[in-house]
Protein backbone atom coordinates (compact mmCIF):
# COMPACT_ATOMS: atom_id res chain seq x y z
CA UNK A 1 0.00 0.00 0.00
CA UNK A 2 1.59 3.35 -1.02
CA UNK A 3 2.06 6.23 1.43
CA UNK A 4 -0.27 8.38 -0.69
CA UNK A 5 -3.16 6.05 0.16
CA UNK A 6 -2.27 6.16 3.86
CA UNK A 7 -2.25 9.94 3.72
CA UNK A 8 -5.59 10.22 1.88
CA UNK A 9 -7.36 7.67 4.07
CA UNK A 10 -6.11 9.33 7.25
CA UNK A 11 -7.39 12.66 5.87
CA UNK A 12 -10.80 11.09 5.29
CA UNK A 13 -10.88 9.59 8.76
CA UNK A 14 -9.83 12.91 10.30
CA UNK A 15 -12.75 14.54 8.50
CA UNK A 16 -15.13 11.87 9.82
CA UNK A 17 -13.79 12.10 13.37
CA UNK A 18 -14.01 15.88 13.31
CA UNK A 19 -17.68 15.57 12.33
CA UNK A 20 -18.14 13.30 15.36
CA UNK A 21 -16.85 16.15 17.52
CA UNK A 22 -13.28 14.94 18.02
CA UNK A 23 -10.75 17.77 18.29
CA UNK A 24 -8.05 19.36 20.40
CA UNK A 25 -7.92 18.26 24.05
CA UNK A 26 -9.95 15.13 23.18
CA UNK A 27 -8.74 11.54 23.12
CA UNK A 28 -9.35 8.62 20.79
CA UNK A 29 -8.43 5.13 21.98
CA UNK A 30 -7.03 2.66 19.43
CA UNK A 31 -7.22 -0.95 20.60
CA UNK A 32 -6.60 -3.45 17.81
CA UNK A 33 -4.01 -5.83 16.43
CA UNK A 34 -1.31 -4.81 13.94
CA UNK A 35 -2.73 -3.80 10.58
CA UNK A 36 -2.44 -1.00 8.00
CA UNK A 37 -5.71 0.39 9.41
CA UNK A 38 -4.03 0.88 12.81
CA UNK A 39 -1.57 3.28 11.20
CA UNK A 40 -4.24 5.08 9.18
CA UNK A 41 -6.24 5.61 12.37
CA UNK A 42 -3.17 6.85 14.26
CA UNK A 43 -2.52 9.64 11.77
CA UNK A 44 -6.24 10.29 11.28
CA UNK A 45 -6.66 11.03 14.99
CA UNK A 46 -3.57 13.25 15.11
CA UNK A 47 -4.87 15.30 12.16
CA UNK A 48 -7.90 16.30 14.25
CA UNK A 49 -5.62 17.67 16.96
CA UNK A 50 -6.75 14.97 19.42
CA UNK A 51 -4.50 12.54 21.29
CA UNK A 52 -4.12 8.86 20.42
CA UNK A 53 -4.49 6.53 23.39
CA UNK A 54 -2.66 3.41 22.19
CA UNK A 55 -3.92 0.34 24.06
CA UNK A 56 -2.58 -3.19 23.80
CA UNK A 57 -5.00 -5.37 21.82
CA UNK A 58 -4.40 -8.10 24.40
CA UNK A 59 -5.83 -5.90 27.17
CA UNK A 60 -9.06 -7.46 28.30
CA UNK A 61 -11.93 -7.40 30.74
CA UNK A 62 -11.41 -5.22 33.82
CA UNK A 63 -7.89 -4.28 32.79
CA UNK A 64 -9.17 -2.79 29.53
CA UNK A 65 -12.19 -1.24 31.24
CA UNK A 66 -9.93 0.51 33.76
CA UNK A 67 -7.84 2.08 30.98
CA UNK A 68 -10.87 3.20 28.96
CA UNK A 69 -12.62 4.70 32.00
CA UNK A 70 -9.39 6.34 33.11
CA UNK A 71 -8.58 8.09 29.80
CA UNK A 72 -12.23 8.88 28.91
CA UNK A 73 -11.91 8.79 25.12
CA UNK A 74 -14.46 10.50 22.90
CA UNK A 75 -14.01 7.73 20.31
CA UNK A 76 -12.85 4.09 20.49
CA UNK A 77 -11.35 2.53 17.36
CA UNK A 78 -11.04 -1.24 17.29
CA UNK A 79 -11.01 -4.29 15.04
CA UNK A 80 -13.52 -7.11 14.74
CA UNK A 81 -11.54 -9.51 16.92
CA UNK A 82 -11.23 -7.15 19.87
CA UNK A 83 -14.78 -5.82 19.39
CA UNK A 84 -16.34 -9.28 19.60
CA UNK A 85 -14.09 -10.46 22.43
CA UNK A 86 -14.65 -7.32 24.52
CA UNK A 87 -18.24 -6.56 23.57
CA UNK A 88 -19.40 -6.48 27.19
CA UNK A 89 -16.56 -4.15 28.13
CA UNK A 90 -17.21 -1.78 25.21
CA UNK A 91 -20.92 -1.75 26.06
CA UNK A 92 -20.05 -0.01 29.33
CA UNK A 93 -18.36 2.90 27.54
CA UNK A 94 -21.00 5.15 25.96
CA UNK A 95 -18.99 6.82 23.17
CA UNK A 96 -18.73 6.56 19.39
CA UNK A 97 -17.02 3.36 18.27
CA UNK A 98 -15.35 2.65 14.95
CA UNK A 99 -14.69 -0.95 13.96
CA UNK A 100 -12.40 -2.00 11.09
CA UNK A 101 -14.43 -4.96 9.83
CA UNK A 102 -18.20 -5.56 9.80
CA UNK A 103 -19.65 -7.07 12.97
CA UNK A 104 -23.01 -8.66 13.61
CA UNK A 105 -25.58 -6.79 15.73
CA UNK A 106 -23.29 -3.81 16.43
CA UNK A 107 -23.63 -1.80 19.60
CA UNK A 108 -25.20 1.67 19.38
CA UNK A 109 -22.90 4.42 18.05
CA UNK A 110 -20.79 1.90 16.11
CA UNK A 111 -19.48 2.85 12.67
CA UNK A 112 -17.56 0.81 10.13
CA UNK A 113 -14.20 2.28 9.12
CA UNK A 114 -14.53 1.38 5.43
CA UNK A 115 -17.94 3.07 5.26
CA UNK A 116 -16.52 6.28 6.75
CA UNK A 117 -13.65 6.26 4.23
CA UNK A 118 -16.20 6.09 1.40
CA UNK A 119 -18.53 8.75 2.82
CA UNK A 120 -15.99 11.45 3.72
CA UNK A 121 -13.62 13.43 1.50
CA UNK A 122 -9.89 13.78 2.09
CA UNK A 123 -10.23 17.23 3.67
CA UNK A 124 -8.92 17.12 7.23
CA UNK A 125 -9.75 19.92 9.68
CA UNK A 126 -7.40 22.91 9.86
CA UNK A 127 -5.87 22.51 13.30
CA UNK A 128 -2.97 24.42 14.85
CA UNK A 129 -0.65 22.36 17.02
CA UNK A 130 1.85 23.46 19.64
CA UNK A 131 4.42 20.65 19.09
CA UNK A 132 6.14 20.93 22.47
CA UNK A 133 2.97 21.25 24.54
CA UNK A 134 0.11 19.39 22.85
CA UNK A 135 -0.15 15.69 23.71
CA UNK A 136 -0.07 13.42 20.66
CA UNK A 137 0.22 9.99 22.26
CA UNK A 138 -0.83 8.41 25.55
CA UNK A 139 0.36 4.97 26.65
CA UNK A 140 -0.26 2.94 29.79
CA UNK A 141 3.21 1.74 30.76
CA UNK A 142 4.61 3.85 33.57
CA UNK A 143 7.70 1.77 34.27
CA UNK A 144 9.58 4.25 36.46
CA UNK A 145 6.80 4.50 39.05
CA UNK A 146 5.95 0.82 38.62
CA UNK A 147 2.24 0.83 37.85
CA UNK A 148 -0.19 1.31 34.99
CA UNK A 149 -0.54 5.04 34.42
CA UNK A 150 -0.87 7.43 31.51
CA UNK A 151 2.44 8.38 29.87
CA UNK A 152 2.04 11.57 27.82
CA UNK A 153 4.11 12.25 24.69
CA UNK A 154 3.98 15.45 22.65
CA UNK A 155 4.23 15.78 18.88
CA UNK A 156 7.79 17.03 19.40
CA UNK A 157 8.85 13.97 21.39
CA UNK A 158 7.39 11.65 18.73
CA UNK A 159 9.36 13.44 16.01
CA UNK A 160 12.54 13.20 18.08
CA UNK A 161 12.10 9.49 18.79
CA UNK A 162 11.67 8.98 15.05
CA UNK A 163 14.70 10.91 13.83
CA UNK A 164 17.14 9.74 16.53
CA UNK A 165 17.29 6.00 15.64
CA UNK A 166 16.76 6.64 11.92
CA UNK A 167 19.93 8.73 11.80
CA UNK A 168 21.92 6.61 14.26
CA UNK A 169 21.13 3.32 12.51
CA UNK A 170 21.38 4.87 9.02
CA UNK A 171 17.89 3.71 7.97
CA UNK A 172 17.13 4.79 4.40
CA UNK A 173 14.34 4.82 1.82
CA UNK A 174 15.38 1.49 0.30
CA UNK A 175 15.24 -0.32 3.65
CA UNK A 176 12.51 -2.88 4.26
CA UNK A 177 11.62 -3.41 7.91
CA UNK A 178 9.34 -5.92 9.56
CA UNK A 179 7.02 -4.88 12.41
CA UNK A 180 6.21 -7.79 14.70
CA UNK A 181 6.04 -5.72 17.88
CA UNK A 182 2.50 -4.68 18.89
CA UNK A 183 1.54 -1.20 17.71
CA UNK A 184 -0.03 -0.58 21.10
CA UNK A 185 3.51 -0.22 22.53
CA UNK A 186 6.05 2.57 22.10
CA UNK A 187 8.58 0.23 20.44
CA UNK A 188 6.10 -0.81 17.73
CA UNK A 189 4.90 2.76 17.18
CA UNK A 190 8.49 3.88 16.80
CA UNK A 191 9.11 1.39 14.00
CA UNK A 192 6.31 2.58 11.71
CA UNK A 193 7.18 6.23 12.42
CA UNK A 194 10.78 5.54 11.33
CA UNK A 195 9.57 3.85 8.14
CA UNK A 196 7.22 6.75 7.38
CA UNK A 197 9.95 9.33 8.06
CA UNK A 198 12.52 7.64 5.83
CA UNK A 199 10.01 6.61 3.15
CA UNK A 200 11.00 2.99 3.60
CA UNK A 201 8.83 -0.11 3.35
CA UNK A 202 7.22 -1.75 6.37
CA UNK A 203 5.91 -5.30 6.50
CA UNK A 204 3.28 -5.71 9.23
CA UNK A 205 2.76 -8.97 11.12
CA UNK A 206 -0.49 -9.34 13.08
CA UNK A 207 0.86 -11.88 15.56
CA UNK A 208 4.28 -13.39 16.01
CA UNK A 209 4.84 -16.83 14.55
CA UNK A 210 8.48 -17.78 14.00
CA UNK A 211 7.93 -19.68 10.76
CA UNK A 212 5.69 -17.01 9.25
CA UNK A 213 8.16 -14.28 10.16
CA UNK A 214 11.05 -16.19 8.59
CA UNK A 215 8.97 -16.69 5.44
CA UNK A 216 8.22 -12.96 5.35
CA UNK A 217 11.90 -12.08 5.80
CA UNK A 218 12.83 -14.20 2.78
CA UNK A 219 9.83 -13.27 0.65
CA UNK A 220 10.06 -9.49 1.08
CA UNK A 221 13.85 -9.19 1.41
CA UNK A 222 13.77 -7.67 4.88
CA UNK A 223 16.89 -5.55 5.44
CA UNK A 224 16.57 -4.75 9.14
CA UNK A 225 14.87 -6.62 11.93
CA UNK A 226 14.00 -4.74 15.12
CA UNK A 227 12.20 -6.48 17.96
CA UNK A 228 12.11 -7.82 21.49
CA UNK A 229 14.45 -10.55 22.70
CA UNK A 230 11.87 -13.43 22.75
CA UNK A 231 11.30 -12.94 19.01
CA UNK A 232 14.98 -13.44 18.23
CA UNK A 233 15.17 -16.49 20.50
CA UNK A 234 12.23 -18.16 18.73
CA UNK A 235 13.62 -17.36 15.27
CA UNK A 236 17.01 -18.83 16.18
CA UNK A 237 15.34 -22.07 17.35
CA UNK A 238 13.71 -22.68 13.96
CA UNK A 239 15.20 -25.17 11.45
CA UNK A 240 14.62 -22.44 8.83
CA UNK A 241 16.99 -20.07 10.63
CA UNK A 242 19.60 -20.24 7.88
CA UNK A 243 21.92 -17.94 5.97
CA UNK A 244 19.77 -18.37 2.87
CA UNK A 245 16.57 -17.33 4.68
CA UNK A 246 18.23 -14.29 6.24
CA UNK A 247 20.52 -13.30 3.35
CA UNK A 248 18.82 -9.91 2.89
CA UNK A 249 19.12 -8.89 6.58
CA UNK A 250 21.87 -6.33 7.17
CA UNK A 251 21.42 -6.06 10.94
CA UNK A 252 19.11 -6.89 13.82
CA UNK A 253 18.29 -4.85 16.89
CA UNK A 254 17.09 -6.46 20.13
CA UNK A 255 15.52 -4.63 23.05
CA UNK A 256 13.43 -5.22 26.13
CA UNK A 257 15.82 -7.56 27.96
CA UNK A 258 19.55 -8.42 28.15
CA UNK A 259 20.68 -10.39 25.10
CA UNK A 260 22.07 -13.89 25.92
CA UNK A 261 25.50 -14.52 24.42
CA UNK A 262 24.43 -17.71 22.62
CA UNK A 263 21.67 -15.79 20.77
CA UNK A 264 24.07 -13.00 19.89
CA UNK A 265 26.54 -15.55 18.52
CA UNK A 266 23.90 -17.38 16.43
CA UNK A 267 23.13 -14.24 14.45
CA UNK A 268 26.74 -13.15 14.23
CA UNK A 269 27.64 -16.63 12.87
CA UNK A 270 25.38 -15.87 9.88
CA UNK A 271 27.18 -12.58 9.34
CA UNK A 272 24.32 -10.51 10.81
CA UNK A 273 25.29 -7.85 13.39
CA UNK A 274 23.06 -8.28 16.44
CA UNK A 275 22.78 -4.93 18.21
CA UNK A 276 21.37 -4.26 21.66
CA UNK A 277 19.28 -1.16 22.37
CA UNK A 278 17.90 0.43 25.51
CA UNK A 279 14.84 2.61 25.93
CA UNK A 280 11.57 2.88 27.80
CA UNK A 281 8.05 4.15 27.29
CA UNK A 282 8.93 7.38 29.06
CA UNK A 283 12.05 7.97 26.96
CA UNK A 284 12.33 5.80 23.82
CA UNK A 285 15.57 4.97 21.95
CA UNK A 286 18.09 6.07 24.59
CA UNK A 287 21.11 4.00 23.55
CA UNK A 288 22.19 1.56 20.85
CA UNK A 289 25.28 -0.37 19.86
CA UNK A 290 26.69 1.38 16.74
CA UNK A 291 26.51 -0.47 13.42
CA UNK A 292 30.29 -0.56 13.11
CA UNK A 293 30.84 -2.17 16.53
CA UNK A 294 30.69 -5.92 17.17
CA UNK A 295 30.25 -5.67 20.94
CA UNK A 296 28.54 -8.24 23.12
CA UNK A 297 26.89 -7.38 26.44
CA UNK A 298 26.69 -3.61 25.98
CA UNK A 299 23.55 -1.53 25.40
CA UNK A 300 25.77 0.80 23.42
CA UNK A 301 26.18 4.56 23.46
CA UNK A 302 23.57 7.34 23.49
CA UNK A 303 21.81 7.86 20.14
CA UNK A 304 21.69 11.28 18.50
CA UNK A 305 20.93 14.25 20.80
CA UNK A 306 20.72 12.12 23.95
CA UNK A 307 22.77 12.76 27.09
CA UNK A 308 23.16 10.20 29.87
CA UNK A 309 24.74 10.08 33.29
CA UNK A 310 25.22 7.39 35.91
CA UNK A 311 24.55 8.72 39.40
CA UNK A 312 24.59 7.29 42.89
CA UNK A 313 21.42 5.45 43.89
CA UNK A 314 21.17 7.07 47.32
CA UNK A 315 20.96 10.77 46.38
CA UNK A 316 20.75 10.70 42.58
CA UNK A 317 23.07 13.70 42.47
CA UNK A 318 26.65 12.40 42.51
CA UNK A 319 27.93 11.42 39.07
CA UNK A 320 29.83 8.12 39.10
CA UNK A 321 33.01 7.18 37.28
CA UNK A 322 34.08 4.42 34.91
CA UNK A 323 33.11 0.94 36.12
CA UNK A 324 30.82 2.16 38.93
CA UNK A 325 27.22 0.94 38.98
CA UNK A 326 24.47 3.46 39.61
CA UNK A 327 21.15 4.75 38.30
CA UNK A 328 20.99 5.71 34.63
CA UNK A 329 19.53 9.17 34.08
CA UNK A 330 18.66 10.60 30.65
CA UNK A 331 18.11 13.94 28.94
CA UNK A 332 16.55 13.68 25.49
CA UNK A 333 14.16 15.56 23.18
CA UNK A 334 12.10 12.34 23.02
CA UNK A 335 11.37 12.45 26.76
CA UNK A 336 7.71 12.25 27.72
CA UNK A 337 5.90 15.41 28.73
CA UNK A 338 5.12 13.59 31.94
CA UNK A 339 2.71 11.23 33.65
CA UNK A 340 -0.91 12.12 34.23
CA UNK A 341 0.08 12.45 37.89
CA UNK A 342 2.11 15.63 38.59
CA UNK A 343 3.66 14.04 41.67
CA UNK A 344 4.84 11.00 39.74
CA UNK A 345 6.22 13.30 37.05
CA UNK A 346 8.29 15.17 39.67
CA UNK A 347 9.64 11.84 40.90
CA UNK A 348 10.65 10.72 37.41
CA UNK A 349 11.90 14.00 35.88
CA UNK A 350 14.23 16.21 37.90
CA UNK A 351 15.91 19.27 36.40
CA UNK A 352 15.17 17.92 32.93
CA UNK A 353 16.74 14.51 33.63
CA UNK A 354 14.66 11.32 33.50
CA UNK A 355 15.55 9.03 36.41
CA UNK A 356 15.10 5.66 34.74
CA UNK A 357 15.05 3.38 37.76
CA UNK A 358 17.53 1.15 35.89
CA UNK A 359 21.08 0.41 36.99
CA UNK A 360 24.00 0.71 34.58
CA UNK A 361 27.74 1.21 34.36
CA UNK A 362 30.07 2.65 31.74
CA UNK A 363 33.41 1.26 30.56
CA UNK A 364 36.53 3.21 29.59
CA UNK A 365 35.31 3.41 25.96
CA UNK A 366 32.01 5.03 26.90
CA UNK A 367 29.99 1.85 26.27
CA UNK A 368 27.08 1.34 28.66
CA UNK A 369 26.06 -1.92 30.35
CA UNK A 370 22.67 -2.74 31.89
CA UNK A 371 23.15 -3.97 35.46
CA UNK A 372 19.60 -4.45 36.80
CA UNK A 373 16.69 -2.43 38.13
CA UNK A 374 15.79 -0.54 41.26
CA UNK A 375 12.14 -0.10 40.17
CA UNK A 376 9.43 -2.73 40.52
CA UNK A 377 8.81 -4.13 37.08
CA UNK A 378 8.81 -7.61 35.52
CA UNK A 379 9.75 -8.22 31.88
CA UNK A 380 7.83 -11.21 30.46
CA UNK A 381 8.68 -11.91 26.80
CA UNK A 382 9.72 -8.27 26.52
CA UNK A 383 6.38 -6.97 27.90
CA UNK A 384 6.46 -4.80 31.01
CA UNK A 385 4.36 -6.29 33.82
CA UNK A 386 3.80 -4.21 36.94
CA UNK A 387 3.53 -6.14 40.22
CA UNK A 388 1.42 -3.37 41.75
CA UNK A 389 -1.29 -3.93 39.14
CA UNK A 390 -1.47 -7.67 39.87
CA UNK A 391 -1.40 -7.05 43.62
CA UNK A 392 -4.38 -4.71 43.20
CA UNK A 393 -6.47 -7.43 41.54
CA UNK A 394 -5.32 -10.09 44.02
CA UNK A 395 -6.27 -7.92 46.98
CA UNK A 396 -9.85 -7.72 45.68
CA UNK A 397 -10.38 -11.41 46.46
CA UNK A 398 -12.06 -11.77 49.87
CA UNK A 399 -9.64 -14.51 50.94
CA UNK A 400 -6.49 -12.41 50.55
CA UNK A 401 -5.06 -10.74 53.64
CA UNK A 402 -1.69 -9.74 52.17
CA UNK A 403 0.03 -10.33 48.84
CA UNK A 404 3.18 -9.55 46.93
CA UNK A 405 4.11 -10.22 43.30
CA UNK A 406 7.73 -10.64 42.22
CA UNK A 407 9.60 -11.60 39.08
CA UNK A 408 11.14 -15.06 38.91
CA UNK A 409 13.88 -15.50 36.27
CA UNK A 410 13.08 -17.91 33.42
CA UNK A 411 15.67 -18.04 30.62
CA UNK A 412 13.21 -18.57 27.77
CA UNK A 413 10.86 -15.67 28.65
CA UNK A 414 12.92 -13.38 30.90
CA UNK A 415 10.84 -13.37 34.08
CA UNK A 416 7.46 -14.70 35.18
CA UNK A 417 5.15 -13.09 37.75
CA UNK A 418 4.93 -15.08 40.98
CA UNK A 419 2.54 -14.17 43.80
CA UNK A 420 3.02 -14.77 47.50
CA UNK A 421 -0.30 -14.72 49.39
CA UNK A 422 -1.21 -14.68 53.06
CA UNK A 423 -4.78 -15.92 53.45
CA UNK A 424 -7.28 -14.65 55.98
CA UNK A 425 -7.70 -17.15 58.80
CA UNK A 426 -11.28 -18.09 57.87
CA UNK A 427 -10.30 -18.94 54.27
CA UNK A 428 -7.39 -21.27 54.97
CA UNK A 429 -7.86 -24.68 53.37
CA UNK A 430 -10.96 -23.32 51.63
CA UNK A 431 -9.41 -21.60 48.62
CA UNK A 432 -6.96 -23.04 46.11
CA UNK A 433 -3.95 -21.66 44.26
CA UNK A 434 -5.77 -22.24 40.98
CA UNK A 435 -8.83 -20.28 42.13
CA UNK A 436 -6.78 -17.21 43.04
CA UNK A 437 -4.72 -17.34 39.85
CA UNK A 438 -7.88 -17.63 37.76
CA UNK A 439 -9.49 -14.75 39.68
CA UNK A 440 -6.67 -12.43 38.58
CA UNK A 441 -5.77 -13.85 35.19
CA UNK A 442 -9.25 -13.56 33.71
CA UNK A 443 -9.03 -9.80 34.36
CA UNK A 444 -5.71 -9.13 32.61
CA UNK A 445 -4.00 -9.76 29.28
CA UNK A 446 -2.34 -13.19 28.95
CA UNK A 447 1.13 -11.61 28.97
CA UNK A 448 0.38 -10.13 32.41
CA UNK A 449 -0.91 -13.36 33.95
CA UNK A 450 0.38 -14.69 37.26
CA UNK A 451 2.30 -17.86 36.41
CA UNK A 452 3.02 -19.12 39.94
CA UNK A 453 1.33 -18.55 43.30
CA UNK A 454 2.36 -19.70 46.76
CA UNK A 455 0.52 -19.51 50.09
CA UNK A 456 2.80 -18.28 52.89
CA UNK A 457 2.52 -17.37 56.58
CA UNK A 458 4.48 -14.18 56.03
CA UNK A 459 5.33 -12.21 52.90
CA UNK A 460 9.03 -12.82 52.14
CA UNK A 461 11.36 -9.84 51.97
CA UNK A 462 12.90 -9.48 48.52
**pLDDT attached to residue 462:** 65
CA separation, residue 144 to residues 4, 55, 247 (Å): 39, 19, 39
Intrachain domains 155-306+334-339+359-372 and 378-455 with the same fold: no
CA gap 410, 169 in Å, rounded: 31
State the DSSP H helix or E strand holding residue 158, giving kind and residue range, or none if neither.
helix 155-168
Q: Please state, in angstroms and rounded to a whole number, the distance separating the CA atoms of residues 362 and 278.
A: 14
Q: Are 177 and 222 in contact (CB under 8 A)?
A: yes
pTM of the full structure: 0.86
- Bridge partners (DSSP) listed for residue 355: 329
Secondary-structure class of domain 378-455 per CATH: alpha beta
Architecture of 3-128 per CATH?
Answer: 3-Layer(aba) Sandwich (3.40)
Q: What is the pLDDT along the chain (462 residues), one digit of tens a residue?
A: 899 999 999 999 999 999 999 999 999 999 999 999 999 999 999 999 999 999 999 999 999 999 999 999 999 999 999 999 999 999 999 999 999 989 999 999 999 999 999 999 999 999 999 999 999 999 998 677 767 899 999 999 999 999 999 999 999 999 999 999 999 999 999 999 999 999 999 999 999 999 999 999 999 999 999 999 889 999 999 999 999 999 999 999 999 888 888 999 999 999 999 999 999 999 999 999 998 877 888 999 999 999 999 999 889 999 999 999 999 999 999 999 999 999 999 999 999 999 999 999 999 999 999 988 777 778 888 787 888 889 988 988 999 999 999 999 887 788 899 999 999 999 999 999 999 999 999 988 888 999 999 999 999 876
CATH class of this structure's domain 155-306+334-339+359-372: alpha beta
Domain ranges of the chain: 3-128, 155-306+334-339+359-372, 378-455
Under DSSP, is residue 120 helix (H, G, I), strand (E, B) or coil? coil
Amino acid sequence: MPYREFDEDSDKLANALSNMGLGKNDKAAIVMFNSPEWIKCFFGVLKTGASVVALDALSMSEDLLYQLEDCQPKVIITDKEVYERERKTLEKIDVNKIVVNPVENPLPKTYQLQTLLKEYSATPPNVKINPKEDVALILYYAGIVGRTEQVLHTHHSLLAMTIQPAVFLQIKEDDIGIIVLPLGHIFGIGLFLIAAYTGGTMVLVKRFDAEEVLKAIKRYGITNCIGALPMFIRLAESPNFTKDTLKSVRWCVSGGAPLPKEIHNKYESLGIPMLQVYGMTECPWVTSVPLNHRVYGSIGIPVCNVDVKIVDVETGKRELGVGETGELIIKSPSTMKGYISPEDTKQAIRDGWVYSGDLAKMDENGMLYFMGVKKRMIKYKGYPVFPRDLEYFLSQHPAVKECKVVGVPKPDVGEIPKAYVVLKEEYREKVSVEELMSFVNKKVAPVKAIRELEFVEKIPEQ
